[in-house]
Amino acid sequence: MHTIFASIALCLMLTLPGCLGGGDGEDGEAFPDFSFTGDDGKKYSKDSLEGEKYIIQITASWCPRCFKTMHNFSDALDEEIYLIISSDAGDGDKIQSWHNKANESNNSKDLEAPFAVLPDLASTLEIDAMPTIYLISEKGNIIAKHEGDLTIHSEILEFYNQEL
């Protein structure tokens, strides 16, 4: 009897790996497709970032308290990819002045992260908190989401070091 049960269990484990935790470990929800040219003049898209782990912060120019989160992410993360996206279509014609204001809010270091305006992405994601921060896996899946300020370096690193 035990042999039959063990055989059935083994067959199920071999044929249903996704249901039992096998597979490639990338079970997170897919992040929506996006594409933009940042204020740095470079092109970014979900496809071009495949193979890279990255962070997207959804915010807007009218959220000056979000500047602290931007600067702390920039300081805490060395060479990691960090994108700053406005949810407000009205920011389109003032993207550079918004980036400059964010830089001026911190005397020690300018933000090297590209800024862009993607209200459709924010709408698709149903953003209702500023900032909302997403950690995206190398396969383009959502590893983690954080709503609100995140300014403590150890918490930022803990957020970034999560895996699916």
Question: Higher pLDDT residue, 1 or 153?
Answer: 153
pLDDT at residue 78 in the model: 84
Query: Cα(106)–Cα(72) distance, rounded to whole angstroms?
Result: 10
Domains of the chain: 28-160 (3.40.30.10)
Query: Cα(138)–Cα(118) distance, rounded to whole angstroms?
Result: 21
| Residue 94 token pair | 């003032």
81-111 confidence digits (pLDDT tens): 999 999 999 999 999 999 999 999 988 889 9
Of residues 86, 108, 87, 107, the one with CA closest to residue 97: 86
Beta strand segments in the chain, E: 35-37, 43-45, 54-59, 81-86, 115-117, 132-136, 142-147
Q: In this structure, which amino acid lies at residue 39?
A: D
pLDDT at residue 26 in the model: 53
**Residue 94 — φ and ψ, nearest 5°?**
-130, 30
Percent of all residues in the chain with a pLDDT value above 90, rounded to a whole number:
78
Query: Cα(95)–Cα(119) distance, rounded to whole angstroms?
Result: 13
CA distance readout (Å), 82 to 107, 118, 160 = 20, 15, 11
Q: How confident is the model over 46-57, as a mean pLDDT?
A: 98
